[in-house]
Structure 1
C-alpha cells in the first residue's frame, strides 16, 4: 500500500465544529498598505480566533480555501499560524488544535509546507487534492499521491476534497477506503454535496472510524451528515455565527445520548433551516461573503474581500448585501440569544 505501513497510527482531530478561518488583511489606513498585496492584519485575526473559540468552536483551519492560502507567502503562513497558536495559548485555549491547509500540486512542496506548519504550531495538516490534471487523473494516481504526502508528512494528514477548486477532481469512496488505512491519514473534509458518496465514506464498514473522521465542509449538510456517521463540520458560516452551528452539533449528540425525541428533531430541523439560510451567502460568495458578513455583523475586518482578484467585495455592491441583511440580522439575534444562555464557549 505504501512505504510507511509500520508507522504508528495517528489520531484524528477531536470531534467538534471547526472553522475554515478567513485570512484578514490590513485596510487602506495601514501604513504599509499595498492594494495588490495588503499585509496581514494579525490584530483582527486574533480577535476573530478568540470570538470563535469562545463560541464553542473546537479548532481552527488556517490557510484553507477560505484562508486564501494560494495568495500567501511561506513567511506569511508561518507568521499567521504562529500568531494564532500564541493567541489561543495565551488565552487558555491550548486544547484547541490548529489545522493548516496546503494547496499545491507538488508532493515535496506539500511535505515542506506541512513541516513549516508544524514548526509554527499547527497540529494537523489538511491537504488539498492535486487537481491540475483532474480529467486525466485516475483513482490509483490520486491514492498514491496522497499516500506519498502522508508517508513523509510530520503531521497527521486530512484529505481535503473540494471539486470546486480542484478542476472537479473526483475522489471515489473506494479510494477513501484505501486511504483511510494509511496510519498517518486521519480524516477528510468533504466540500461537496454528494450525500450518497458521503454516506459511503462516513458509514463504510471498511473504514476504522475511530482513526478516520469524516467532516462535511458544508454546514447546510451538518444534520444529514451527522445522521450517516460523520463527525461534524468544518464550516464557513460558523466563522460568523459559531454558537449557531455548535448548538446544532451539541443538540444532536446530546439527544442521541438520551434518545432523540420528536421535539429534539423539530429543534434540530429548525436550526438546520436557519443555517441553510445563511449558508446561501457563503455558497454564493465564498471568502468574500464571509468577510463581508464578519465586517457588517460584528465589525471585524473590512468589507471588500481579500487579495486580488478577490479584492472589491460584492460585484453588485451595496445592493447585494441588502438581499441578505434580513436573514443575517435574524441569525445575529439567535447567536446573541445563545450567547446569553451561556451553553457554548
Structure 2
C-alpha cells in the first residue's frame, strides 16, 4: 500500500500535430514526472484523454509507459466506463504486467443508483487481477458516489484498496476518512485541496499539475505527509493560482499549455477538446515566470 502514498500523476497523452500519439514525447513526460519526485503514475485517466483513444492506441500507450518506466515508480491503469460488461471485457484483455492497480471511474451518464454503483464496482473488483482504486468525480460523471457506498465497498471487498475523491464535499471526505478500514487509502483528486486533505488523513493525491510541476508539488505533498504543514504552506500557496489557471478552460488543456511553455511536449488536443485561449496561456506563462521556471 505504500506504493500509493504521496504524489501520483494522472499523466497526459502527448499528441503530434497530426493528432497521432507522440510516443517519444510520452517518454519525455514520464522522465520529467519521475525526475520530479512523483511516487507513481496513472496512465490513461481523464487527464490522458482516454475517452478519445481507441483500443489499439491505449494498448500502445500502456506498452510504452511500462517499458519506459521500467520499474522506477509504481503504475496505475485507468480502466472504467458506464457499460459494466465492456469494462469487464477490457479488464480481461488488459495486460497487467508492469501495473500495480487499476483506477476505475464511477459510471457516468447513465446516472445509476447507489446500489447500481455498488454492483458495478463489485463486478469490477471480482474480475480484476489487480487492486482497484475507486474514482468519484461527480462534476464529470453526473452522479456522486456517497460516503456510505464508498465505505460499503471498502469494507466488503479486499480487492478495493483506495478511493480517489474529487467531489469537493468535505462532509463526505470526513465521513469516509473517519469510518474507512485502516488500510484503505483516501486519495485527494483535487490538487488545490491536497494539503488540508492530508491533514485530515489522506494518503496523498492523484495530481494534474504534477505533470508540469512535479518537483514543487511532490515536495509539498511529502512535507505534509511528514506533518510539516507550516513548512509546506508556502509551496501550497505558490501553486494555487497556476493550478486554477490550468483548469479554467478545462483539463488537460491548461496543463498541456504549461508543459509546452516549459519545453516538455506539445499541447495538441483531440476534439471535442481544444487548446486554451491565448489570454489564459499568457497568464500561465506569467505564473511560470513568477516561479522562476521560464
Q: CA deviation at 1:227?
A: 0.7
Aligned to 2:160: 185
Q: CA deviation at 1:330?
A: 2.3
Deviations 1:117-150, CA, capped at 9 Å, x for gaps: 434632211111112222xx32122111111111
Does residue 268 of the first structure (1) align with residue 232 of the second (2)?
Answer: yes
Classify the secondary structure of the residue corresponding to 1:60: strand
Preserved CA contact (<8 Å) 2:10 2:41: yes
Residues of 2 paired with 1:265 and 1:208: CA distance?
A: 25
Q: CA deviation at 1:209?
A: 2.8
Residues of 2 paired with 1:84 and 1:52: CA distance?
A: 12
Does residue 126 of the first structure (1) align with residue 103 of the second (2)?
Answer: yes
Does residue 48 of the first structure (1) align with residue 29 of the second (2)?
Answer: yes
> Structure 2 vs 1, CA of residues 320 and 278 (structure 1 numbering), >3 Å: closer, same or farther?
closer
Residues of 2 paired with 1:216 and 1:17: CA distance?
A: 10
Residues of 2 paired with 1:197 and 1:12: CA distance?
A: 24
Structure 1 residue ranges without an equivalent (≥5)? 1-10, 28-32, 257-263, 337-345
Does residue 199 of the first structure (1) align with residue 174 of the second (2)?
Answer: yes
Preserved CA contact (<8 Å) 2:185 2:202: yes
Aligned to 2:66: 85
Aligned to 1:222: 194
Residues of 1 paired with 2:209 and 2:103: CA distance?
A: 19
Aligned length: 292
Classify the secondary structure of the residue corresponding to 2:252: helix
| Structure showing greater Rg | 1
Deviations 1:82-120, CA, capped at 9 Å, x for gaps: 11111111xxxx141211112421222212323444346
Preserved CA contact (<8 Å) 1:25 1:306: yes
Does residue 105 of the first structure (1) align with residue 70 of the second (2)?
Answer: no
Aligned to 2:215: 243
Preserved CA contact (<8 Å) 1:69 1:103: no
Aligned to 1:144: 119
Query: Deviating runs (4+, > 4 A) in structure 1?
Result: none
Q: CA deviation at 1:320?
A: 2.3
Deviations 1:255-305, CA, capped at 9 Å, x for gaps: x3xxxxxxx543322221122122102321310111111001x212223x4
Preserved CA contact (<8 Å) 2:223 2:229: no
Q: CA deviation at 1:183?
A: 1.2
Structure 2 residue ranges without an equivalent (≥5)? none
Preserved CA contact (<8 Å) 1:114 1:125: no
Classify the secondary structure of the residue corresponding to 2:257: helix
- Of the candidates 250, 261, 269, which is equivalent to residue 306 of structure 1? 269
Aligned to 1:339: none
Classify the secondary structure of the residue corresponding to 1:180: helix
Classify the secondary structure of the residue corresponding to 2:251: helix
Task: Let me know the Cα RMSD of the aligned residues.
Answer: 1.8
Residues of 2 paired with 1:201 and 1:139: CA distance?
A: 15
Preserved CA contact (<8 Å) 1:219 1:237: yes
- Of the candidates 243, 251, 255, which is equivalent to residue 290 of structure 1? 255
Residues of 1 paired with 2:195 and 2:223: CA distance?
A: 10
Q: CA deviation at 1:319?
A: 2.3
Task: Give the TM-score of the pair, scaled to structure 2.
Answer: 0.93
Residues of 2 paired with 1:233 and 1:106: CA distance?
A: 27
Classify the secondary structure of the residue corresponding to 1:192: coil
